[in-house]
A and B are shown apart, each in its own frame.
Chain A
Amino acid sequence: MSDTAIKRTVMAGNEAAATAAKLARVQVIAAYPITPQTSVVEQLSAWVESGELPAEFVTVESEHSALTVCITASTVGARVFTATSANGLAYMTEQVWWAAGARLPIVMCIANRAMAAPWNVLNDQQDSMSVRDAGWIQLYCRDNQEILDTTIQAYRIAEQLHVPVMVCYDGFLLSHTVMPVEVPSAEQVDAYLPPYEPLTVVDPDDPRNIGPVTLADPRANADGVSCHGYMEVRALHQQALLGALETIPAADAEWSELTGREWGGLTWEHLLDDAEVVLVAAGSVGMQLTVAAEALREQGVKAGVLGIRSYRPFPVDALRGKLAGRKLALVFDKALSYGNEGPICGDLKAALYGQPEAPVVFGAVCGLGGRDVTVEQLNDAANRAIADLADGVTDRAADWLNLHL
């Protein structure tokens, strides 16, 4: 297989993720296998072992160590990759925050899986949603081509902003499902990804403390130079995340120029133009919603889909603009903020609060722990929401799909 060739093939989502990491010429990989992410690690380790991928593959005893290795390698200027799922991500959590606060452009694929207890290896999005506040960019994928393309884009976004990126895709539904994928050539990816220039200085002749104690207030360092306090460092981090609202679409547009494929940047849509009822979701359920919207159209309902690709940063302005003047937004969450509601639903309500032309927002919870989600159920949920709206309901509890208590 020549580096110059664009290859059309069929592959599972995990292979798409591994292929993207290889094309990005990652230098250090550290990951611990966990279902349903395992085959990402297997594929990459096989390529490193065969010499096809000239990278360091560091075997570790846990996910906490996997991300720690990535943090240290990224600190010294290496392009790094890791992947995990569910409890593996939870085990990493301390270092998830460190990677973001240290502004390290790590790319991590998350094959989304339900959190235990009770033990469950199947898909929902509770794992990555649970670390939405940690300061990483989170991009959610619809299919395997988007996994490959987004993982490559993630390096460009991460390294421009010095912010780590999680590329999230539904476990099994995408990770283990094969579908056609076009693999770009090495030349295309090389042209797209300039070398990574770290913020950190690592020079034995000019040493640094990296991530030292940084208390509340700005303070002079030992040379009398004014340095940020904790709150300034955090405000700059927030600026970087908000800056991603421009960087993510720009990275997608440049990728489109190179490959002819673009994914909508922050959000994507289907039949949205004249839609009065908008179905909202992140990830592969969005693809099912496109079928549901078409069925609703046949039934005479002006339905469309608004997909969320970038969940962090949350594309508030884009969502306000695209939902202004609609009658109803029905949000399908594959996660829950226990004691409140689905995380996307809650965030969307906050984004729309006080907007004069905002639609009514209803939530639905679906697919927890791999519970089957069918187009018929999505359709029925939309019809229930439309009926509630017709009855004058403007706020209601989340509709749990396919629940049999």
Chain B
Amino acid sequence: MGTRECGSPISMSKPSAGEAGRTGDWRANRPVMTAQACLAVKKGEVVCQLCWAYCPDACISRGVGPVIDMEYCKGCGICSEVCPANAIEMVPEAAHGVCNVGEGSER
């Protein structure tokens, strides 16, 4: 035993996408955004962005409209709850067929 390549006896890591593994395969319900309903899309500007601000896993990118990274979205539904335009609906994964996230490199 001893230190691994990481060289530390404590648990410490660099913040980066996928640090906790591909968490998208935890998801039971998928956020599905109706672009026409999103305030940013309606305005054609980077406005609102509450879903980006509230996402606890930082897997929503700001934009017109915001983009959710399904590789890491755990399906918590907070974006859907905070969306003032009800543009995000949580749909059971089963309704989407087989979930194919997590096929990348082993983490």
Report yes or no: B10 in contact with A233, Cβ–Cβ below 8 A.
yes
Report yes or no: A228 in contact with B11, Cβ–Cβ below 8 A.
yes
Encode A221-233 as 1/0 by CB contact (under 8 A) with B. 1111111100011
CA distance A285 to B106 in the complex (A): 57
CA distance A173 to B11 in the complex (A): 40
Residues on B with beta carbons closer than 8 Å to the beta carbon of A224: 105
Residues on A with beta carbons closer than 8 Å to the beta carbon of B17: 222
CA distance A401 to B42 in the complex (A): 81
Report yes or no: B11 in contact with A219, Cβ–Cβ below 8 A.
no
CA distance A208 to B105 in the complex (A): 22
Q: Closest approach, in angstroms, between the C-beta of B102 and any C-beta of chain A?
A: 14
Residue B20 at the chain A interface, CB threshold 8 Å:
yes
CA distance A197 to B20 in the complex (A): 28
Report yes or no: B19 in contact with A209, Cβ–Cβ below 8 A.
yes
Report yes or no: A214 in contact with B11, Cβ–Cβ below 8 A.
yes
Encode B10-44 as 1/0 by CB contact (under 8 A) with A. 11111111111100000000000000000000000
Residues on A with beta carbons closer than 8 Å to the beta carbon of B105: 220, 224
Report yes or no: A222 in contact with B4, Cβ–Cβ below 8 A.
no
Number of interface residues of B (CB under 8 A): 21
Report yes or no: A208 in contact with B11, Cβ–Cβ below 8 A.
no
B residues 86-107 near A (Cβ < 8 Å) are: 105-107
Residues on A with beta carbons closer than 8 Å to the beta carbon of B12: 199-201, 208-212
CA distance A219 to B11 in the complex (A): 11
Report yes or no: B11 in contact with A222, Cβ–Cβ below 8 A.
no
Residue A162 at the chain B interface, CB threshold 8 Å:
yes
Residues on B with beta carbons closer than 8 Å to the beta carbon of A233: 9-11
Report yes or no: B6 in contact with A208, Cβ–Cβ below 8 A.
no
Report yes or no: B6 in contact with A221, Cβ–Cβ below 8 A.
yes
Instruction: Name the one of B9, B15, B19 contacting A199, with C-beta atoms under 8 angstroms.
Output: B9
Report yes or no: A221 in contact with B9, Cβ–Cβ below 8 A.
no
Residue A339 at the chain B interface, CB threshold 8 Å:
no
Report yes or no: A228 in contact with B13, Cβ–Cβ below 8 A.
no
A residues 222-253 near B (Cβ < 8 Å) are: 222-228, 232-233, 235-237, 240
Question: In the complex, what residue of chain A is closest to B7 when comparing beta carbons?
Answer: A225
Residues on B with beta carbons closer than 8 Å to the beta carbon of A226: 4-6
Report yes or no: B9 in contact with A222, Cβ–Cβ below 8 A.
no
Q: Closest approach, in angstroms, between the C-beta of A222 and any C-beta of chain B?
A: 4
Residues on B with beta carbons closer than 8 Å to the beta carbon of A48: none
Report yes or no: B10 in contact with A227, Cβ–Cβ below 8 A.
no
Instruction: Name the one of B4, B13, B16 contacting A218, with C-beta atoms under 8 angstroms.
Output: B4
Report yes or no: B4 in contact with A212, Cβ–Cβ below 8 A.
no
Encode A202-216 as 1/0 by CB contact (under 8 A) with B. 000011111111100
Residue A102 at the chain B interface, CB threshold 8 Å:
yes
Q: Closest approach, in angstroms, between the C-beta of A147 and any C-beta of chain B?
A: 30
Residues on A with beta carbons closer than 8 Å to the beta carbon of B6: 221, 225-228
Known A220-B107, A232-B1; judge A209-B9 contact (CB<8 A).
Answer: no
Known A162-B9, A233-B11; judge A222-B106 contact (CB<8 A).
Answer: no
**A interface residues, Cβ below 8 angstroms from B:** 102-103, 162, 199-201, 206-214, 218-228, 232-233, 235-237, 240
**B interface residues, Cβ below 8 angstroms from A:** 1, 4-6, 8-21, 105-107
Could you show 17 A-B contacts with beta carbons less than 8 Å apart?
A: A102-B11, A199-B8, A199-B9, A208-B13, A212-B11, A212-B20, A218-B4, A219-B21, A220-B105, A221-B13, A221-B19, A222-B17, A226-B4, A226-B6, A227-B6, A227-B8, A228-B8
